[in-house]
Structure 1
């Protein structure tokens, strides 16, 4: 039977439209929770810098603990079901926080458990979402589809984090967490409308889970371009997490600014992500796919060195401008880098490739949060900010020094199947 060619525009695919709208709700919940949960710890439980660092670490440590096997599991499961269950789990976890607060039973231990389990659910949601996307829209529409999704994530950062800061300021942090739970519940219900016939789940490496994981890791680490993309993104995440973990303490305690100001600052970063995502395709068309990644890094990554100068008055605006430029670069990276790695990976390895990247990228977030808390205790909040900004400023170098810089266009679909993968797919 001949498979029809998918439409070039992802918006003509009903399944993509459903996934996009559900992701919008999920992003809203995640970003409101991103602002509200640490502020619950700081304002309601008087958490120290080390405890805030531990909270951020536990939120991402799941990617280190189960990140690699999650890819093999997702490759063997119905991905829509994974997305729905993950959102339901996040809704229930967030709902437990205001319930405990109202009962005067909220503790740091509960917050630690909530963010740890929420990280596990987020891991499965992210891997399944990026794996199902090429199946929904076809590889020819990956760049516009990823541009739309990254733009949505950026809008979510602006709207979600801005709304999160405003809700905390107006209604208290626990009430803001209620809104995060409701958004995840709505996302799960929306995902039930996806009507995508998924392929039979017989991935390569059926000899065992370990062999399946190893094949995904070899696919990423054995390719110079994929390896460079992973290193650059991991360093960007490491540096940004060191910075972001200390910002609630800096804004609320040292600068004595309202929670809404922190939400607006993070929202400005989301605006930078949005602009970077929207400009990614024109930049790639003018400069070439790989050169656009390299030039954006060289020109914009050093702007992060303005962030540690943050203070009241004009220093807040100067640091904010540096953060917007840094996020613009990351928005461009997310569209072009994700599209490149998806085009270089066959369908049977998509889950494991995405999980390997998630293991490295979000594992870097866990490490960054722990390092940030440690630096905050040892050298202070400002010292931690300088360390994170320095890492972000040099994060572009792996891609800049790799063959990615010379790539004019995305690879052809036929070129992405290695002999090993073809033999595995034919079993």
Structure 2
């Protein structure tokens, strides 16, 4: 059985035009992305404004969001043995909605604590892991291989668009309703997503018969990502980027709020304006890829994504100047992350055999996202010892080195999806 014939689902032939199932899936993703952007701003603001969190506590909060990804290998192998990936996506949405609803309830009872924030971060992260492992297997049920790059670009446009609207909406809601109440929007977004995904009709065939244990599948996923030269290079690149960008992300809201003395509305405005870069990057990624080639476009993105973070340390002067600089930094980073993500995600989808998508995604995510809590904790420690501005410089310059993984690998020679097919992992 080859990867081409190991279709577990019924992806339609051709492109995305007229593909109603993908459009519904795309809408569900868009709705949850907007809600998530609100929570990404509101959750740390609860810690900073209501609970007077320290840099160390902020780093722990950010680390807990990504800690569940360390179990991604096991979850991914388990998902590979499940037939109904759609059901798993719905369960993950409903669970995260319930967890997030606990915050506004606790706020109304004047009972919000740092421990609760930690639990919310941990449990929503666990829901994201389950959804992430089922996502790609469900994605390939809706999209033919020839449309992977286009479909990935559209999903990334939604993520980027949410980064434009989410922080601005989140900042306004936080100022008008307080941060815990603003999180209601994210909870509702998961309920809407569960409804939309639950209505997608798709045939999901059972996985191929296998006597392998879950542990054996975990080992298989690890061997896949560590031994295959393309997967190994992509993992090294994204893992390095994630480590250094999380150093900065764990401290950015704290830096903007305390060092730059910006209000929640101003922070949301700066991040929202800057996210226009991600929106443009997601839309342009397929076109740039046709000019430069898939691999070279990803290399450019791997440098452009983290490097501008170092410039954030230069913010000074009047409020408008600080907001403008933060916005400019996130514009450049947004373009970079989409040039990298859209191309690498499409590449990973193309070279992974269908029966192994869960365990490949699990092993990859466990290592890729597993470094994020470490980066957040290191960022908190450096922020305490060196200060916030020097830590941002270290994060920006260190992250730019991630491109070397791709430069020294076969990825830089991959120009098209047809080239990617030639390095496909054997089924």
TM range (shorter): over 0.9
* Equivalent residues in 2 for 1:149-160, closer than 5 Å: 149-160=155-166
Alignment check: 8 A CA contact 1:343 1:416 kept:
no
Aligned match of 2:150: 144
Aligned match of 1:305: 310
Q: Distance in 2 between matches of 1:325 and 1:362?
A: 22
* Equivalent residues in 2 for 1:7-26, closer than 5 Å: 7-26=13-32
Aligned match of 2:107: 101
SS at match of 2:216: helix
* Equivalent residues in 2 for 1:14-93, closer than 5 Å: 14-64=20-70, 66-77=71-82, 78-93=84-99
Structure 2 residue 396 is matched with structure 1 residue 389: yes
SS at match of 1:225: helix
Q: Distance in 2 between matches of 1:130 and 1:368?
A: 26
Alpha carbons of structure 1 residues 171 and 158: separation in structure 2 relative to 1, 3 Å: same
* Equivalent residues in 2 for 1:405-420, closer than 5 Å: 405-411=412-418, 415=422, 418-419=425-426
Alignment check: 8 A CA contact 1:304 1:392 kept:
no
Per-residue CA distance 1:73-121 (angstroms, 9 max, x = gap): 1212211111111111111111001111111111111111111011000
Q: Distance in 1 between matches of 2:195 and 2:26?
A: 13
Q: Distance in 2 between matches of 1:203 and 1:332?
A: 38
Alpha carbons of structure 1 residues 312 and 175: separation in structure 2 relative to 1, 3 Å: farther
Structure 2 residue 346 is matched with structure 1 residue 339: yes
Alignment check: 8 A CA contact 2:225 2:360 kept:
yes
Alignment check: 8 A CA contact 1:158 1:270 kept:
yes
- Pairwise CA distance, 1:42: 0.9
Alignment check: 8 A CA contact 1:150 1:277 kept:
yes
Alignment check: 8 A CA contact 2:352 2:425 kept:
no
- Pairwise CA distance, 1:299: 6.2
Aligned match of 1:124: 130
TM-score (norm. length: structure 2): 0.92
Alignment check: 8 A CA contact 1:307 1:320 kept:
no
Alpha carbons of structure 1 residues 39 and 301: separation in structure 2 relative to 1, 3 Å: closer
- Pairwise CA distance, 1:391: 2.1
Alignment check: 8 A CA contact 1:345 1:416 kept:
no
Q: Distance in 2 between matches of 1:162 and 1:239?
A: 25
RMSD between aligned residues: 2.2
Alpha carbons of structure 1 residues 258 and 300: separation in structure 2 relative to 1, 3 Å: closer
Bigger mean CA offset, 380-389 vs 308-317 = 308-317
Aligned length: 418
Aligned match of 2:324: 317
- Pairwise CA distance, 1:273: 1.7
Which runs of no fewer than 5 residues in structure 1 stay unpaired? Answer: 422-427
Q: Distance in 1 between matches of 2:412 and 2:142?
A: 29
Alignment check: 8 A CA contact 1:165 1:262 kept:
yes
Alignment check: 8 A CA contact 1:302 1:394 kept:
no
- Pairwise CA distance, 1:31: 1.2
Per-residue CA distance 1:127-175 (angstroms, 9 max, x = gap): 2112211221111110110000011111111112221112112211011
TM-score (norm. length: structure 1): 0.92
Per-residue CA distance 1:34-88 (angstroms, 9 max, x = gap): 1111111111111111111111111110001x11111111212211111111111
Alpha carbons of structure 1 residues 79 and 11: separation in structure 2 relative to 1, 3 Å: farther
* Equivalent residues in 2 for 1:217-232, closer than 5 Å: 217-232=222-237
Aligned match of 1:425: none
- Pairwise CA distance, 1:203: 6.5
- Pairwise CA distance, 1:312: 4.0
- Pairwise CA distance, 1:364: 2.2
Aligned match of 1:164: 170
Q: Distance in 2 between matches of 1:291 and 1:183?
A: 36
Q: Distance in 1 between matches of 2:117 and 2:18?
A: 42
Structure 2 residue 271 is matched with structure 1 residue 271: no
Aligned match of 1:257: 262
Per-residue CA distance 1:399-418 (angstroms, 9 max, x = gap): 12221111122246864665
- Pairwise CA distance, 1:184: 1.2
Bigger mean CA offset, 90-99 vs 362-371 = 362-371
Aligned match of 1:424: none
